[in-house]
Amino acid sequence: MSNSFTSFNGKQQDNQQNIKQFTQTFNGVTQWIYKYITTSNQVLNQSNQVLTPSNQNVDIYLPNNLTVVGSINSPSDFFCKKEVNELSKRDVLDLVNITPVSFKYINDKTEKKPLGVIAQEVEDYYPNLVSFGEDDLRTVNYIELIPLLLYKIKEQQKSIDELKMRIEDLETYSK
């Protein structure tokens, strides 16, 4: 167990490195580094001030809310992707089998009623959207549900537009 950290008494030093690093390791908990980085990563292609785990090979778990004033972005540029394939009707057929639910977390004292889905149900149809976290509890990648929902919305809108045209045609012929 390592218990070392650099302290600036809660203040960021304004030096050339622009690094504020607090590293403490207790029971395998991920520690955070606050630093200014310049990356040559073609996906990001930018320099940013970041908060990042000191160990880049671990998952992040937040037991409370995450509030972001800015945006949450995922690299999505065409040039960082390969084997790009459009979704098909077959990909979204099982979407209707997933039941949206409201619920309460067992140990949540706030009594909030989040909205979501049940991971086991998602796993039955889209196993790639389910991961196993601490104690083998399942988690759902809600972000990757969005393309499926978008496809389904577009498909439904196309059906709506076709039905509207048929109704207009019927109304025209019935006059």
Compute the distance between CA of residue 98 and CA of residue 123 in angstroms, rounded to an integer. 10
Our count of domains for the chain comes to 2
Amino acid at 124: D
Among 20, 46, 72, the domain boundary falls at 72
Name the pLDDT band for 162 (thresholds 50, 70, 90). very high
The arithmetic mean of pLDDT across residues 3-12, rounded, is 40
Same domain, residue pair 112 and 167: yes
Q: Taking a C-beta distance cutoff of 8 angstroms, is the pair 43, 80 a contact?
A: yes
What pLDDT is stored for residue 25 in this prediction?
52
pLDDT of residue 59: 74
**Residue 138 domain boundaries:** 89-174
Selected residue with higher pLDDT from 18 and 42: 42
CB 37 within 8 A of CB 51: no
Final residue of a domain: which of 45, 72, 99? 72
Q: How far apart are CA 160 and CA 164, in angstroms?
A: 6
Model pLDDT, residue 6 = 42
- What residues pair up with 49 in beta bridges, in sequence order? 36
From the list 10, 67, 30, the residue with the least C-alpha distance to 20 is: 10
pLDDT tens digits for range 29-54: 556 665 555 555 544 545 555 666 66
Does residue 77 fall inside a structural domain? no
Residue 172: φ, ψ to 5°: -65, -45
- The 3-state DSSP composition of the chain as helix, strand, coil percent (nearest 5) reads 30, 15, 55
pLDDT at 152 over 60: yes
- Among 17-21, 72-76, 88-92, 102-106, the range scoring the smallest mean pLDDT is 17-21
Q: Are strands 101-102 and 130-132 parallel, antiparallel or unpaired?
A: unpaired
